[in-house]
């Protein structure tokens, strides 16, 4: 029972993060959310006490607009905001926010990076990009629940190694409006067969 509650709270957290990210991206602003543990250095004094981000998405959105990343623990509580992630990897053809996202996506962290340049949201897990959401796509908001369900499936560890999908979107597959999913052919085949049964 406890495991089911934990899974439901993670799904709700992912849903809120994607919804907040969509609002930020539509305005042409950027953000970086990390759910998990990562090395970071505060850029500003941490004056806002920890709070459950699911219960206060407006405050989360405001904090995400501060330069730096927002760190959230897996139970949905804010750990830090306006922080610099100690980057160890480079995300080719993208800026420092994406490189920080790639570094933070190691281990079991969930990372959501919002690009102000192209207004796309990229979701990373286990060091790889697993999903890209186009905030300007008409009706993309209606795809959020489906995207969260796919993210939960990815949590099972079946994600492949297609990281070059950023540069070649045809390597991803679109099952929901405005959302491209990246992963192994086996994983994508399972999604397709479930979706169309």
pLDDT, tens digit, 9 for 90 and up, residues 7-63: 568 889 999 999 999 999 999 999 999 999 999 999 999 999 999 999 999 999 999
What does the pLDDT read at residue 154? 59
End-to-end, the C-alpha distance of the chain in Å comes to 29
Give the residue, 67 or 144, on which the prediction is more confident.
Answer: 67
CA distance linking residue 143 with residue 38, whole number of Å: 29
Topology of 2-195 in CATH? Answer: YojJ-like (1 (3.40.1700)
Cβ atoms of 54 and 20 closer than 8 Å: no
Residue 178 has a pLDDT of 72
pLDDT digits (tens, 9 = 90+) for 136-194: 888 888 777 777 777 766 544 433 333 333 333 444 555 566 777 776 433 554 554 45
Q: What is the largest CA-CA distance in the chain?
A: 52
The DSSP output letter for 83 is E
**DSSP code of residue 177:** T
Which two structure tokens, joined as six digits, stand for 69?
């990343």
Q: What's the rounded mean pLDDT across residues 76-84? A: 96
What is the rounded CA–CA span in Å between residue 97 and residue 43? Answer: 14
Whether the CA torsion 157, 162, 164, 167 is positive or negative: it is negative
Q: Is the pLDDT of residue 130 over 90?
A: no
| Domain chopping of the chain, boundaries | 2-195
How many Cα atoms sit within 13 Å of 72 on the Cβ side? Answer: 27
- pLDDT for res 147: 77
DSSP state of 174: E
**H/E stretch holding 2:** helix 2-26
pTM value surpassing 0.75: yes
């Amino acid at each position: 029972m406890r495991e089911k509650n934990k899974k439901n709270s993670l799904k709700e957290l992912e849903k809120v993060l994607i919804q907040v990210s969509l609002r930020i991206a539509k305005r042409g602003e950027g953000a970086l959310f990390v759910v998990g543990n990562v090395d970071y250095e505060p850029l500003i004094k941490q004056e806002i006490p920890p709070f459950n981000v699911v219960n206060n998405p407006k405050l989360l959105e405001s904090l995400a607009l501060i330069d730096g990343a927002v760190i959230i623990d897996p139970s949905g509580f804010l750990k830090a905001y306006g922080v610099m992630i100690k980057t160890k990897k480079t995300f080719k053809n993208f800026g420092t926010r994406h490189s920080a996202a790639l570094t933070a996506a190691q281990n079991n962290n969930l990372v959501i990076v919002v690009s102000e340049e192209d207004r796309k949201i990229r979701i990373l897990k286990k060091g790889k990009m697993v999903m890209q959401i186009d905030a300007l796509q008409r009706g993309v908001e209606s795809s959020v629940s489906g995207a969260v369900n796919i993210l939960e499936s990815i949590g099972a560890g079946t994600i492949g190694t297609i990281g070059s999908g950023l540069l070649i979107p045809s390597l991803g597959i679109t099952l929901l409006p405005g959302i491209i999913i990246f992963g192994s052919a086996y994983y994508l085949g399972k999604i397709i067969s479930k979706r169309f049964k």
